[in-house]
Amino acid sequence: MVFLVLTVVVLSRMTSVLKTLGGGATEGRIGMSNRINAILFMAFLIFGSIAAAWSFIDASNYFLPEASSPHGRRTDFLFWLTMAIITVAFFVTNALLFYFAFRYQYRAGKKATYYPENHKLELIWTVIPAVVMALLVFTGWRAWRDIMSEAPEDAVVIEITGKQFNWITRYAGSDDNKLGNYNYKLIDANNEVGIDLSDEASFDDFVASELYIPANKPVLLKIRARDVLHSVFLPHFRVKMDAVPGMPTRFWFIADKTTEQMKNETGNQNFKYELACTEVCGRGHFSMKMNVVVVDEDAYNKWVSEQKSWLSTNPDYLARVPEKLKAKAAKYVDAAAGTASTDSTAAPVEGGAAGAAVSASMQ
């Protein structure tokens, strides 16, 4: 209704202007209208600039803290450099645009001067943006090349699998730094990522409910999706990579700030790193998040040594191990069964059941 009323008002004004067009009596009205519009242009420029600055300053309270990875800080630098150049160009061009509207407003008896061409100006406003753009593209390409390069040989390998609606993390174990193979045909209720037990490298692999990362050490994330498109997002590390069904992806980085350091830097003792999904993947998309814990290397190695292999927690799967590898695989199951029987007196039946399962599998 408001727009309809405004439309009627504008049409009626236009009709009155057309009726009096060409009459000398309207010269004063036109001049006054132009002066008012010119002043409004300048007022809009000033108040718009103030509003934009206020909006940025107010929103900065919600910006992420400094990145907790070297490549993240490099990415942030390039982002803010690009934003600074764009912002300067925006304000310069728009300030000139609004100023010219004010400076060269209509005045009675004044004739406009036209410049059909100016090769010098055209060269300036073509070459300068082209050079700036080329430099930004080149520096961005170098950063992308370095970030997406092959991971170092000593990188900690972690597999992240997305499924509706949670993440599954698989580690290479403490005996080696090599993840076992997987096969989607082997996925079932317990073997959620399809661990292939015909590969002996998978015997010490384990699955964790949190993403543990050692500080100041390269970490290679091998990313998969079990059903639909997901996206791995570690905002504080500036890590984001899609998890695509049937097409494994990867991303490596170095986390150089532990969780405790971030608690002290942010002044928030409840601070937690987080792994989130940034691809809408269904009704339960909101629940696809996981805690991320960054600790020093010694604490990380201690944590890894305390984890039980997936095979030891699922001894029934020993029957699926090839005969030539069963003796080696049984060591992990026997060790876990022995630990359970000596460390836990409250559940002897479980230890006995695990031992019975191992014996049956071996037979």
> Which pLDDT belongs to residue 351?
39
For the chain, what percentages of helix, strand and coil (3-state, to nearest 5) are there? 55, 15, 30
Residues 280-291 pLDDT 10s: 999 999 999 999
Rounded to whole angstroms, how far apart are CA atoms 104 and 112?
Answer: 9
Residue 220: what are its φ and ψ, rounded to 5°?
-105, 120
For residue 328, name the pLDDT band (cuts at 50, 70, 90): confident
Confidence label for 336 from pLDDT (cuts 50, 70 and 90)? low
Whole-number pLDDT of residue 362: 40
> Does residue 307 contact residue 336 with C-beta atoms inside 8 Å?
no
Burial 299-309 (b: 16+ CB within 10 A, else e): bbeebbeebeb
**Shortest CA distance to 132 belongs to which of 170, 89, 71?**
89
- Alpha-carbon gap, residue 311 to 291, rounded angstroms: 24
- What b/e string do you get for 67-97 counting C-beta neighbours within 10 Å, with b at 16 or more? bbbebbebbeebeeeeeeeeeeeeeeeeeee
How confident is residue 121, by pLDDT bands cut at 50, 70 and 90?
confident
What's the longest Cα–Cα distance across the chain? 111
Average pLDDT, the chain: 86
Strand 289-295 vs strand 156-163: parallel, antiparallel, or unpaired? Answer: unpaired
pLDDT of residue 12: 81
Q: Report whether pLDDT(191) > 70.
A: yes
Supply 285's token pair: 């998309």
Mean pLDDT of the 61-75 span = 94
Domains of the chain: 30-107+115-147 (no CATH), 156-307 (2.60.40.420), 313-363 (no CATH)
At residue 29, the pLDDT reads 65
Sequence-separated (6 or more) residues with CB below 8 Å from residue 20: 26
Instruction: Give the dihedral sign, CA 330/335/337/338.
Output: positive
196-225 pLDDT, tens per residue? 999 889 999 999 999 999 999 999 999 999
Nearest CA among 363, 317, 322, 359 for reference residue 337? 359
Residue 27's pLDDT band (boundaries 50, 70, 90)?
A: low
pLDDT at residue 354 in the model: 40
Q: How far apart are CA 255 and CA 237, in angstroms?
A: 7
**pLDDT bucket at 347, cuts 50 / 70 / 90:** very low
